[in-house]
């Protein structure tokens, strides 16, 4: 990669349709409303948090929630126009904030032009090869005189035939336009675990020829992440393995769970030592982290882990205030609210924000936390200690998830506690004795 910007990235994740207060459904008729400009009023907040990369969820024309696209070449009228998006990204770039968009390529909405043609002309449509699982001997649950493959049984999400050259050409032309016109820095591929490996490899080659430092990350829930992230395919995937381990390790007083996951991924024989996985505590599809935790005080040691473990940290909008929301039965609208910055600062305590601000700053100026190897030092039911080390620097991270002070010893000549701003020196017995406060941690730069 020509430019290793991703090594230094700290992401903020926004679901634009919800964040901007767009109407739940697109009427395909109303004039564009430039709601997306709301993002610009949050730039100072991003910079306060140490954010230098923004993941914007779906922004192109869709039927409803953005993951049912109908036009890959036009910004959703509920968010504005192509000019709106171009100006927003340009302003973010001026503030040294990279931007990646959602690439929804596995499926389309029922208002997609090729599917509309199929509905009208049936077997005579020139787009019969654009979709998978077409069967004209049956009716779909939506009343169509044919049935078709879907994403996860949702008939409002029509599965594309990505092996058909005209479909691939259509999608690649859209991506080229996004790079040329909007100057995006990467893509998060929705439902990447449903995309064919050949399609991903070709997309990777195509985008890197257009922009050498283009970053591709895939949404993958289960499986071996190396199947999708490797030198010929994606740069990274979502780290759902650690997502679950992070909060349940605190809830169950079982730090062995996250320790096992981190060691499996990044230890001496780790499966993903050379990958920077996309780490998160919550997102637009799962419960807010403050809802998932049994003890809200664990937000603090949990964020210390997020910013010191191997990979790329990401904050989902609003969760920096510790807001609580649970995934709904039929939709996730409550996980994707419209938030007003002034109101959030007025109504919520900013202690977690100040902690995140400090953590992102520590990560920014300590290369071991971005590029160092991972080595477990000690694990107990409510305690984890590990190191991150490069040839030039060693950082030791201590996480205390209990209600009691934790006393611990390390071998070092001196240690600077970057998080709590203390300095320690080797005692006569050759070790440094440390006291870690309850539900807190230490980030030690050791000599």
Q: CB–CB of 99/129 below 8 Å? A: no
Beta bridge partners of 443: 397
Mean pLDDT of 405-424: 95
Mean pLDDT of 88-103: 98
Q: Give pLDDT, residue 287.
A: 97
User: Where do we find the tokens 């005209």?
Assistant: 166
Domain boundary assignment for the chain: 5-109+162-369, 110-161, 372-446
Closest CA to 155 of 171, 138, 173: 138
Q: Report how far residue 45's alpha carbon sits from residue 339's, in angstroms, rounded to the nearest whole number.
A: 13
Q: Give pLDDT, residue 1.
A: 42
Mean pLDDT of 213-240: 97
Give the strand pairing for 414-417 and 312-316: unpaired
Instruction: Dig out the tokens for 235 from the structure.
Output: 């740069």
Q: Give pLDDT, residue 428.
A: 74
Check pLDDT > 90 for residue 427.
Answer: no
**Fold observed for domain 5-109+162-369:** TIM Barrel (3.20.20)
Beta bridge partners of 376: 386
Q: Give pLDDT, residue 329.
A: 64
Confidence of residue 3 (pLDDT cuts 50, 70, 90): low
The 3-state secondary structure of the chain reads: CCCCHHHHCCEEEECHHHHCCCCCCCCCCCCCCCHHHHHHHHHHHHHHHCCCEEEECCCEEECCCCCCEEEEEEECCCCCCHHHHHHHHHHHHHCCCEEEEEECCCEECCCCHHHHHHHHHHHHCCCHHHECCCECCCCCCCCCCCECCEECCEEEEEEECCCCHHHHHHHHHHHHHHHHHHCCCEEEECCHHHCCHHHHHHHHHHHHHHCCCCEEEECCCCCCHHHCECCCCECEEECHHHHHHHHHHHHCCCCHHHHHHHHHHHCCCCCCCCCCCEEECCCCCCCCHHHHCCCHHHHHHHHHHHHHCCCEEEEECCHHHCCCCCCCCCCCHHHCCCCCHHHHHHHCCCHHHHHHHHHHHHHHCCHHHHHCEEEEEEEECCEEEEEEEECCEEEEEEEECCCCCEEEEECCCEEEECCCCEEEECCCCCCEEEEECCCEEEEEEEC
Instruction: Dig out the tokens for 137 from the structure.
Output: 């001997």
Superfamily (CATH) of domain 372-446 = Golgi alpha-mannosidase II (2.60.40.1180)
Beta bridge partners of 312: 278
Q: Give pLDDT, residue 41.
A: 98
Check pLDDT > 60 for residue 351.
Answer: yes
For the question of whether the overall pTM of this predicted structure is more than 0.85, the answer is yes
In a 10 Å sphere around its CB, with 0-12 CB exposed, 13-18 middle and 19+ buried, how is residue 2 labelled? exposed
**What is the maximum span of the chain, computed from C-alpha positions, in angstroms?**
87
Give the strand pairing for 98-103 and 186-189: parallel
Check pLDDT > 70 for residue 2.
Answer: no
Query: In the chain, pLDDT over 90 holds for what percent of residues?
Result: 96
Q: CB–CB of 111/72 below 8 Å? A: no
At residue 438, φ and ψ (nearest 5 deg) are: -60, 140
Confidence of residue 330 (pLDDT cuts 50, 70, 90): low
Check pLDDT > 50 for residue 79.
Answer: yes
Confidence of residue 4 (pLDDT cuts 50, 70, 90): confident
pLDDT averaged over every residue in the chain? 96
Q: Give pLDDT, residue 317.
A: 98
Query: In the chain, pLDDT over 70 holds for what percent of residues?
Result: 99
Q: Report how far residue 367's alpha carbon sits from residue 388's, in angstroms, rounded to the nearest whole number.
A: 9
CA torsion 137-148-114-189 (nearest 10°) is: -170
- Residue-wise pLDDT tens digits, 261-306: 999 999 999 999 999 999 999 999 999 999 999 999 999 999 999 9
- Residue-wise pLDDT tens digits, 379-392: 999 999 999 999 99
């Amino acid at each position: 990669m020509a430019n290793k910007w991703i090594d230094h990235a700290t992401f903020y994740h926004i679901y634009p349709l919800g964040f901007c207060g767009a109407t739940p459904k697109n009427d395909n008729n109303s004039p564009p409303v430039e709601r997306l400009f709301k993002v610009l009023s949050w730039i100072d907040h991003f910079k306060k948090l140490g954010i230098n990369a923004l993941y914007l969820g779906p922004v192109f024309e869709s039927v409803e929630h953005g993951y049912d696209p109908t036009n890959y070449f036009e910004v959703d009228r509920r968010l504005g126009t192509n000019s709106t998006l171009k100006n927003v990204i340009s302003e973010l770039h001026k503030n040294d904030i990279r931007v990646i968009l959602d690439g929804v390529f596995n499926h389309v909405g029922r208002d997609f032009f090729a599917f509309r043609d199929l509905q009208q002309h049936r077997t005579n449509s020139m787009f019969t090869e654009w979709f998978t699982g077409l069967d004209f001997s049956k009716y779909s649950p939506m009343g169509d005189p044919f049935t078709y493959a879907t994403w996860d049984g949702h008939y409002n999400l029509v599965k594309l035939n990505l092996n058909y050259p005209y479909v691939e050409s259509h999608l690649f032309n859209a991506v080229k336009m996004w790079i040329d016109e909007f100057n995006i820095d990467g893509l998060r591929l929705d439902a990447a675990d449903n995309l064919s490996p050949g399609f991903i490899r070709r997309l990777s080659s195509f985008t890197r020829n257009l922009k050498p430092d283009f970053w591709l990350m895939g949404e993958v829930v289960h499986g071996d992440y190396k199947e999708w992230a490797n030198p010929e395919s994606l740069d990274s995937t979502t780290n759902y393995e650690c997502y679950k381990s992070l909060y349940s390790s605190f809830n169950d007083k079982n730090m062995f769970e996250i320790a096992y996951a981190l060691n499996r991924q990044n230890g001496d024989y780790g499966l993903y030592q050379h990958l920077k996985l996309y780490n998160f505590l919550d997102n637009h599809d799962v419960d807010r982290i403050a809802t998932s935790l049994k003890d809200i005080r664990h937000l603090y040691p949990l964020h210390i882990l997020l910013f010191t473990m191997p990979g790329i940290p990401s904050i989902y909008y609003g969760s920096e205030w510790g807001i609580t929301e649970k995934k709904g039965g039929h939709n996730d609208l409550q996980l994707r609210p419209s938030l007003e910055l002034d109101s959030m600062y007025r109504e919520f305590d900013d202690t977690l924000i100040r902690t995140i601000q400090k953590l992102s700053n520590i990560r920014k100026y300590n290369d071991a936390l971005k590029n160092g190897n991972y080595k477990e030092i000690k694990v107990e039911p409510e305690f984890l200690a590990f190191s991150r080390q490069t040839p030039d620097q060693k950082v030791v991270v201590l996480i205390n998830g209990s209600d009691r002070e934790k006393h611990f010893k390390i071998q070092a000549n001196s240690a600077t506690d970057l998080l709590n701003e203390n300095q320690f020196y080797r005692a006569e017995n050759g070790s440094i004795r440390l006291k870690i406060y309850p539900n807190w941690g230490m980030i030690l730069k050791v000599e």
